[in-house]
Chain A
């Protein structure tokens, strides 16, 4: 099955214009009740992530415990959307968050480089899903994509989607390696046409990661896909979003590009490791009027 028989026609992107639009979106001023709502929404959209070579069962259990209880002093907070780990640790994560409603996401397809034979990538995906992953974050083959082999890239995504079975597929474009906003738009269109449930900016291993212009271009691709097909694809910026202020700027951009429907953890996620505590600190500030030390928040 080839889903990419039709060539992907993506509109040209004017990078200067994108930056101006981003600057204007960033001038929105979010205060008081609107800010508190945005902070809560942000927490519910976080994929709490650990992706290190040194990850162990202990580290993952620690991450899951944090996901289950973000801040003991504020019991009425929403829980994060998911924890995101390597395939070998999916089982540990799954047991730790069982029954909480928190999803387990696993990177796969030879993350982060993606430089492995397709059969191995597919096997890795199936193993992760078997171990209980609700969501799979794959990386595209940037080398093949940049070499112009869009058909290969698209078919690979479609194959991974098939291997995912019921698990949701997030397709990581690794935008920091794609070079231009035009290429990012093309990759976004290709991924959505090939079966992505989500498109995701980055692995977090390459800089720059989820910059605002990149995310805006991906949101516009999602919007155009929706208007053409009626299908709602999700978006996950990952890497580089570490403050509540950054996250709120994303929500503004989503609200004004895709509208209210995407302000939902089913359609928007933040891939982040340190964002949650800055958001928590801001929530405490909004409620109490004072900033607390970072040491008052658990790792």
Chain B
């Protein structure tokens, strides 16, 4: 037998991947029996669940079914006032007076209860936000617990973390988080803040409030003193009230660059500390010497993880021309095996788009990309009739000037471009207003290090993608944000600046 290209006239070899013919996977839904969800959720203020003043509420729904899950209290300015006042009292009277070791014990306790209730939290996260249970179970919840464990350890070691500066907390932190990793983002915000001795008013996203409210239950169960953590639910106005409240000492925001800019303007001259973790449009650079199959896996993980609702998603694929055909053809094959559908099914790879509004935004970009002349490719995977869905999508032949290359889509849409030389690849990767993350794929170690050091972004991965760890600082260059979360840098952001002795 010799190697030869298939003779003319016969169809090119094609793999029979995905689809319904032959052996397929039966539905494997995670049971929701033991998950208790209430019809109504209140605000968590001063250790109690309370209604909003005036009793206003909003609905949170399951994006996979469009069915309402619960009514949630809508916090007004007056409610935010109450929450900040409770946080201030708790800070002055209790939390800042407590021995750091005792503070640490509470944070450890939260971490442990998070683990114990992991399955319930994973299911709730998937129900409320649409992400596949495989991810909420294996990524979101374990990482959230890991953040509490990690920062708990620092609580009584601040003088070792930052020697000689007499580490002092800031006071009351106002925190606003997005809907893409609801519990994990709450953990990123709350864990370092309270471990460092601050108290917190946290505003979860409007479409995904439930796991934050379950975290409130856990915090109460852990015996954390009332007022140390307060959770106020609502939409943008509630978030603005938290950020602008005069008695808030520190603002931590994760969300869009657009809102980040508004916050930065609003905070100018206020004397408040702030960290902003904003949008991204990361490049995944695949070189001709890369291990192709593993690179393809990294590309898939980079853009289709969490439906592409990831600020550090590898949403631009830059592939060296000499291997572009092979990489793209293998990528398409791999995409055919991705299963889109019921977030609670253990075999689902891509769940529901988080909301109608986000789906509209993604679909608008699908139109923009086509109008700009990029060539769309979508897989043939069936999607459910109800709910918000988007098949994994490529835009081939995309160009640097295209909006689908420059703007953050926040969905399972990958813009594909080619480059010829290392320098050109780096130039294209850096030609963006964002600078949050990036990926490099090469089997040559020296090249991987050299290229990653030349990409202007806060987080770089070589031969892997979307790896998160509480010990690693995370944050952006340029319009991707200011400050770092995670690691010691993330702890530093919740302490007073150095003083001269």
Contact = CB atoms under 8 A, between A and B. Distances in A.
Nearest to B346: A29
B185 interface: no
Nearest to A196: B1
B17 interface: yes
A256 B17 contact: yes
Interface string A254-292: 011011110100000000000000000000000000000
Nearest to A227: B13
B399 interface: no
B363 interface: no
Contacts of B4: 229
Interface residues of B, number: 38
B92 interface: no
Given A27-B134, A34-B25, A259 B3 contact: no
A207 interface: no
Chain A CB within 10 A, most for which of B10, B19, B23? B23
Given A12-B443, A16-B463, A16-B464, A30 B291 contact: no
Contact of B10 (A28, A230, A251): A230
B98 to A, nearest CB: 41
B1 to A, nearest CB: 5
A258 B6 contact: no
A228 B3 contact: yes
A230 B3 CA distance: 10
A175 B5 CA distance: 29
Chain B CB within 10 A, most for which of A11, A231, A251? A11
Interface stretch (A35-43, A46-54, A116-124): A35-43
Nearest to B22: A260
Given A13-B291, A229-B3, A263 B13 contact: no
Interface in B63-119: none
A221 to B, nearest CB: 10
A31 B16 contact: no
A17 B298 contact: yes
A240 interface: no
B6 A230 contact: yes
Given A41-B23, A263-B22, A258 B28 contact: no
Contacts of A31: 26-28
A37 B23 contact: yes
A59 interface: no
A29 B347 contact: yes
A220 B10 contact: no
Contacts of A13: 291, 293-294
A195 B1 contact: yes
Interface string B155-169: 000000000000000
Task: Give chain A's interface residue range (CB within 8 Å of chain B).
Answer: 35 or more
Contacts of A16: 294, 463-464
B17 A259 contact: yes
A193 B2 CA distance: 6
A9 B157 CA distance: 54
B1 A29 contact: no
A145 B10 CA distance: 36
A188 to B, nearest CB: 13
A251 B23 contact: yes
B292 interface: yes
Nearest to A197: B1
A32 B28 CA distance: 9
A259 B346 contact: no
B356 to A, nearest CB: 30
A134 to B, nearest CB: 19
Nearest to A258: B15
B138 A34 contact: no
A38 B1 CA distance: 32
B292 A11 contact: yes
Contact of B3 (A14, A27, A35, A193): A193
Given A13-B291, A14-B443, A16-B464, A193 B347 contact: no
Given A256-B337, A261-B16, A228 B5 contact: yes
Interface string B1-43: 1111110001001011101011111111000000000000000
A17 B23 contact: no
13 contacts: A12-B289, A12-B443, A17-B294, A20-B297, A27-B134, A28-B25, A29-B347, A41-B23, A193-B1, A251-B23, A259-B16, A259-B17, A261-B15
The 10 closest A-B pairs by CB, nearest first: A17-B294, A260-B22, A29-B28, A34-B26, A14-B291, A259-B15, A29-B346, A12-B443, A259-B16, A14-B294
Interface of B: 1-6, 10, 13, 15-17, 19, 21-28, 134, 138, 289-295, 297-298, 329, 337, 346-347, 443, 463-464
